[in-house]
Structure 1
Amino acid sequence: MSVHIRLLNESDPVIISKAFQEQGWGRFAEQYLHYLAEQRNGERVTLVAELNGEFAGYVNVLWYSGYPSFREQGIPEINDFNVLMKFQRQGIGSRLMDRAEEIISERTDVAGIGVGVFSDYGKAQVLYAHRGYIPDGHGVHKHDHYIQPGEETIMDDDVVLYLTKKLKATQ
């Protein structure tokens, strides 16, 4: 089994979109073209994993997070982390996360990540906990605000708990 991690390139958007659509996820090439443009501008790094030459997954590093606490503290965000279902539980996600954390550690010693709070995100929740990510202490966030006690909301992909990880000891 040969896993190769590399940067997103011009030929990837259509390949990635097709792979996710084949497993029933509505991902469109325009999203990945946007990622490519932001990568060229230095706003993000998009890492692509291939297993034996076949697209298997990807992850982003956002240098300027949309999440207020990360943005204010200058914490880069690991974002939109996806491995095709047929390639899950083979270590590909861990390899992508390892590389994303290495890239972040070249600039700072803290990485951030958001995770959905319902059962569809259970595998990710467990993975992040095993990797040492802990809640940032601000509670759950949706769109542009933190959910307050007594507030009603629809539990969907936009209800997120944000986590951080210390990557290396302060020098």
Structure 2
Amino acid sequence: MSDAFTNAITIRVMNESDPEIIAEAFREQGWNKPVWLYEGYLEEQRKGDRVSLIAEADGVFAGYVNVLWKSYYPPFREAGIPEINDFNVMIKFRRMGIGSALMDKAEAVIGERSPIAGIGVGIFSSYGNAQILYAKRGYVPDGKGIFNGEVHVEYGESIVVNDDVALYLTKTLSRV
């Protein structure tokens, strides 16, 4: 980002113009995040199943995060724990407080309906920054071990480690 960045970070709810902007920003970064994904998020938001939060830095798309009211992770879904999901900050906007601002807002949204927030994090090194961020924010493992997207992994099992393999964490939110 240029030296002209003034650190004006805005967090808002996703709107109709965002899917194309988000997909293009990721294309420019070399990641394949298709428009239909964000159109789906928008539709789920309209139905009340999720809240998609957008971060802008000086008016430029910088990242997003979702709050899922009914987690895809069975233990969270069964316990009624909302999940912070698909958290992304554009590479050029990292280490500027944008991720923390998105997490603050997501936790505030969850805190209106639940005393506990949940989140999943990948287990390999490309998730290292997220693992550290979540630990610093007070998230702790739920104690159920590694989940491969379908079941919890048992001792001695062989799995392919990919983006579906995660450790799930929870945080008790403080009431203001």
Structure 1 gaps, min length 5: none
Superposed displacement of residue 124, structure 1: 0.1
Q: Deviations over 1:134-159 (max 9, x none)?
A: 00000000121000101000111111
Structure 2 gaps, min length 5: 1-6
Q: Secondary structure at the match of 2:64?
A: strand
Report whether the alignment pairs 1:138 with 2:144.
yes
TM-score if structure 1 supplies the norm length? Answer: 0.98
CA distance in 2, matches of 1:40, 1:156: 30
Give 1:113's match in structure 2, choosing from 104, 119, 132: 119
Report whether the alignment pairs 1:157 with 2:172.
no
Give 2:104's match in structure 1, choosing from 98, 103, 123: 98
Give 2:45's match in structure 1, choosing from 20, 30, 39: 39
Report whether the alignment pairs 1:25 with 2:31.
yes
CA distance in 1, matches of 2:87, 2:67: 9
Which residue identity is paired with 2:154? Q
Report what 2:79 is aligned to.
73
Paired positions, count: 170
Superposed displacement of residue 130, structure 1: 0.2
Q: Secondary structure at the match of 1:81?
A: strand
Give 2:173's match in structure 1, choosing from 155, 159, 167: 167
Which residue identity is paired with 2:140? I
Give 1:63's match in structure 2, choosing from 69, 81, 85: 69
CA distance in 2, matches of 1:119, 1:103: 29
Which residue identity is paired with 1:14? E
Q: Secondary structure at the match of 2:145?
A: strand
TM-score if structure 2 supplies the norm length? Answer: 0.95
Identity of aligned residues (%): 60
Structure 1 runs, 4 residues or longer, greater than 3 Å off: none
Q: Secondary structure at the match of 2:65?
A: strand
CA distance in 2, matches of 1:135, 1:18: 34
Q: Secondary structure at the match of 1:64?
A: coil
Q: Secondary structure at the match of 1:146?
A: coil
